[in-house]
Amino acid sequence: MKTSDNLQHLAADAMDRRSFFRRMAGAGALIATSALPVWADDETPAATSDVFPKWGQYERLSISYATVEIGAERPFSVLHISDTHLTAAYEHENANKQQLRKSRTQTFGGHQEEALRDSLAWARQHVDYVVHTGDLIDWQSEANFDFVRKYFGNAMFGSMGNHEFSTDMWLSNPKEEQTEAYKDNTRNRLQQVYPFDVRFQSQVVHGVNFITLDDVYGYVTEEQAERFLREVKRGLPIVLCMHVPFHTPNTWRATMRFWSDKGPMTSRDVPEPSGDYRRQQDDLVTRDFIQYLKTEPLLRCILAGHEHITLEDQFSPTCRQYLVAGNFLFHGREVMFF
């Protein structure tokens, strides 16, 4: 049976799911905050700058909040961060890496590591888990990969971003392409650095199934759709974590408002789909998968990033989608699950 047929069948059969059950083993979307590193005194995140000398350590963090009634076995909370865009390169790395280190560090302000360290230190004190939905690094370099190992070791889980697959961005030869074939060039290398399945991962936390998948160019593969369907059969409420949001008219309107740099809004029209949104409509597997998700009552929450804006919108009758702004600007969101 083709994936689209499976999706239609499950949509019709969705209300007949069996009762929840829990899987106790496995690794996936989340890192327990107890596993986060503790830095020496000389490595702790710096206090807020002299502009606010009497403020506390975390005042420069911009933390938003959300609550999701999902039927968890017990309440717990997650710090959702995305788009840190670490921009490091060792001196011995090639000229492309050095050029990117200089230009991209300037683009992202040069405080990305501080923002990440502040966020993780805050998480140790305030939440149970951390999930990162991609673009932890800005491009592939030895130094950036060492940052991944330094801060998350063998316990970091989350999803890939499009920048994780970028070797040298616009400097790369051959040119970067938004295809599975392009990702295959370095997927094995990424798999060695990131200790989770970079294509698709599942982890059950207090009776909630956190699923992460690689949708970094806006589409999903037939294999990913099939794996999701198998997870649905477990009967657990689902939180889907990924880099690129599954766009609604509202998320697309806000995205285009942010990135197009236009003046005051004068039209009710939704901007013409392009890029990821157009691909989600044109790719048959992705289109069918999204339509199925809108009918799947076990999908209760989507966590995404990529657009560098904080936004939430109703994705389906049972699911709300949350985008979080760039961690490089000290943004994050605490999501409380009940």
3-state secondary structure of 133: coil
Mean pLDDT of 305-320: 98
* 22 pLDDT higher than 70: no
Tell me the mean pLDDT in the region 189-210.
Answer: 94
**Dist. CA 272–CA 34, nearest whole Å:** 45
Residue 6's pLDDT is 55
Q: Examine the pLDDT at 10 and tell me if it is beyond 50.
A: no
Structure tokens belonging to residue 81: 């961060």
- Nearest residue to 217 (alpha-carbon basis) of 284, 274, 161: 161
pLDDT at 31 over 60: yes
Q: Which uninterrupted H or E stretch holds 323? A: strand 320-323
Q: Which residues contact 60 (CB under 8 A, 6 or more apart)?
A: 48, 49, 52, 118, 330
Tens digit of pLDDT for each residue in 239-251? 999 999 999 999 9
207-223 mean pLDDT: 97
**Model confidence band, residue 100 (pLDDT cutoffs 50, 70, 90):** very high
With bands split at pLDDT 50, 70 and 90, how would you rate the model's confidence at 263? Answer: confident
pLDDT bracket for residue 52 (50, 70, 90) = low
Nearest to 302, CA basis, from 244, 231, 254, 230: 244
The pLDDT score that the predictor gives to residue 131 is 94
Q: Within 13 Å, how many C-alpha atoms sit on residue 335's CB side?
A: 29
> Quick one: 310 exposed, middle or buried, by C-beta within 10 A (0-12, 13-18, 19+)?
middle
User: Cis link prior to 174 (omega < 30° from 0)?
Assistant: yes
Share of the chain above pLDDT 70, in %: 84
* Tokens linked to 270: 């939704």
pLDDT in tens, 281-293: 999 999 999 999 9
Interior/surface letters 49-74, b for 16+ CB within 10 angstroms, e for the rest: eeeeeeeeebebbebbebebebebee
The CATH label, of 3.30.300.210, 3.40.50.11540, 3.20.20.140, 3.30.750.180, for the domain at 3-14+31-38+54-260+269-337 is: 3.30.750.180
Question: What's residue 41's pLDDT?
Answer: 47
pLDDT band at 49 (very low <50, low <70, confident <90, very high): low
- Map out the domains of the chain as residue ranges: 3-14+31-38+54-260+269-337
List pLDDT tens digits, range 104-161.
999 999 999 999 999 999 999 999 999 999 999 999 999 999 999 888 765 557 899 9
**pLDDT band for position 191 (cuts 50, 70, 90):** very high
Who wins on pLDDT, 136 or 58?
136
- Residue 24 has a pLDDT of 26
CA 152/CA 164 separation, integer angstroms:
15
